[in-house]
Amino acid sequence: MKIHIEKKLLHFKKPSGTSRGILYDKPSWILSVRLSNGHTAYGECSVIPGLSPDFIDENQYEIKLNDLKKDLELNWSEEEFNDIQVFTTLKWKQLLLSYALFPSIVFGIESLTRDLHQGGNALIFESGFTRKECSIPINGLIWMGDESFMLEQMEEKLADGFSTIKMKVGAIEWKKELALLEQLRRRFSKQELTLRVDANGAFTPESAVPILNQLSELDVHSMEQPIQAGQVSAMSKLCRNSPIGIALDEELIGIHELEQKESLLKNISPQFIVLKPSLHGGFSGCKEWIQLAEENQIAWWMTSALESSIGLNAIAQFTATYSDLLPQGLGTGGLYTNNFESSLVVEKGQLRMK
């Protein structure tokens, strides 16, 4: 089994504002295997420099990818992945465990091998979604930027029929961001439009309290990561006293052990968690988080870590194996000028297979 690895630098159509500054492009590494049936199986190792816990620089990352290439080529065969039971074997679990500190690589391995198992047809997880019987509800995302840019995005999402909108906050003066949310709420009631905000840790424990109260007055559904990760006591207090739901996002990054995950959720008791397979240990890591969340009556949704359409296709298919989904943070990869062709399409706030 020959593994091919190629770097793909994805270029944003518009510079995208995040809590880590303005992004103009983003790297991914595409894993591929040419199969005996003539098809090609793909997986994606997607990183966000400055956020991904497994990415220091390209040289370090590519050394690890080359270790993976040697490992797979030496110890695994295409035939082994023809059997679905391979994903329950000790050998498989040991493979994932050896890359546990590299969640984006685990995601790439899992996507590649599941595609390989299905014969290279980009079918990662079969469900009603892949059979085109149902769709996934998603939120429309408003990126950080100046007031006019954010307003322009809001109008686009409303015109596209989204009933849940998530606005990234913390980039401009708070009162201007609040005014945009007030404008949305004046036009649409909470029954017509669900509002979420994502702070990416922009506020302090003290400044977050009045902001959460203001958001409550606008019937905002939830705020993701109001304060910087690592302040467990402060975050726990916010979750206990907040008038709106709080979702943990960056707080989950770098937590690999099951016991650590369980301890974090019990200590903070958030209302929601936000999961990204590229940051949280691939599908296997996210499954652990979901199981623990549901055991503790914590709701969740999945979102992307700016993957290409290869990674987004895999994440959407994984997400669709669950039922009664809240609106998810997924899309088609339309942010980029040089993406791969997508098998996904968005219509009226729903993601479906073409």
Q: Residues 203, 209, 215, 221: what is their CA dihedral angle, to the nearest 10 degrees?
A: 90
Domain ranges of the chain: 3-117, 136-353
Q: With 80 as the cut, is the pLDDT of residue 298 above it?
A: yes
- Within 8 A by CB and 6+ apart from 186, the residues are none
- The span from the CA of 272 to the CA of 300, in Å, is 5
Amino acid at site 157: K
Provide the pLDDT for residue 263. Answer: 97
Determine how many CB atoms are found less than 10 A away from the CB of residue 354: 9
Name the CA dihedral angle for 146, 148, 150, 153, rounded to a multiple of 10 degrees.
-150
pLDDT at residue 148, rounded to an integer: 83
Average pLDDT over residues 184-204: 92
- pLDDT for 246 beyond 80: yes
* The predicted structure's pLDDT at residue 142: 86
Residue 143 or residue 85, greater confidence: 85
Residue 334 has pLDDT above 90, yes or no: no
Question: Quick one: pLDDT at residue 146?
Answer: 76
CATH of domain 3-117: 3.30.390.10
Question: What's the CA gap between 88 and 86, in Å, rounded?
Answer: 5
Q: Check whether 19 has a pLDDT greater than 60.
A: no
CATH superfamily, with its number, for domain 136-353: Enolase-like C-terminal domain (3.20.20.120)
Mean pLDDT within 10-37: 86
Higher pLDDT, 66 or 183: 66
Provide the annotated active-site residues: 168, 276
pLDDT value of residue 324? 94
Q: What is the pLDDT of residue 20?
A: 62
pLDDT of amino acid 151: 83
**What is the per-residue pLDDT for 259?**
96
Give the residue, 100 or 171, on which the prediction is more confident.
100
Q: What is the pLDDT of residue 223?
A: 97
Fold match between domain 3-117 and domain 136-353: no
Name the pLDDT band for 242 (thresholds 50, 70, 90): very high
- When pLDDT is averaged across residues 177-200 and rounded to a whole number, the result is 91
Q: What is the reported pTM?
A: 0.94
Region of 196 on the Ramachandran plot (φ > 0 left; ψ -120 to 50 alpha; else beta): beta
pLDDT at 33 (0 to 100)? 98
117-174 pLDDT per residue, tens? 999 999 999 999 999 999 999 999 888 777 788 788 888 888 888 999 999 888 788 9
**What DSSP string describes 126-148?**
-STTTTTS--EEBPEEE-B--HH
Averaged confidence pLDDT in the chain:
94
Q: Do 239 and 271 form a contact (C-beta atoms < 8 A)?
A: yes
Range in 101-115, 137-151, 216-230, 268-282 the model is least confident about: 137-151
Percentage with pLDDT > 70 across the chain: 99
% of the chain exceeding 90 in pLDDT: 83
